[in-house]
Amino acid sequence: MKKITGSIASALLGLSLTATPAQACWTNAEQDAARIANMNQMLMVSALRCRFGKDNFLSDYNRFVRNNNDVLASQHAIIKARYARTMGQKAAFAELDRFMIALANYYGGGHGDPDCGKLEKLSGELSNGRQDAKALATIADEVVGVPRQAAQACSVTIASRR
């Protein structure tokens, strides 16, 4: 009986160890969503931080959000679905909240790059209409990149000739 229990425990441990890397990695779509969330948090926090200076872009940021709220919401849903898949449905909302708060806290510290003037220009460009997720991900990649929480990309398997 001990031998069977030990074999089952070893098999379960092996499965859990092999499942962990796949759960830790982020797909391309999930990383794009994280990029967009990262840029949005940077703009939101910086718009509040810069609102009393000469480069006040709060109204442009608010227009950007109004014009693109459905795209921003869809990207949050992708991140939440990732957490639901890897941590369970119950934990997904709390983990998404922790993810967003960590981004906001980073930018709340006054990261300084890009500065308020550059962010005013970016926010003005983004506020000029609707963007799709692909365009926002491209812009976000140039401006802020993938946040460290989502940095581990899933490996790509390429078929090989035998």
> Can you give the pTM of this predicted structure?
0.78
Q: How far, in Å, CA of 90 to CA of 64, rounded?
A: 31
Each residue of 150-160: pLDDT tens digit? 888 886 555 54
The stretch 107-120 carries a mean pLDDT of 79
Cβ atoms of residues 57 and 116 within 8 Å? yes
- Asked if residue 2 has pLDDT above 60, the reply is no
Domain boundaries in the chain? Answer: 28-148
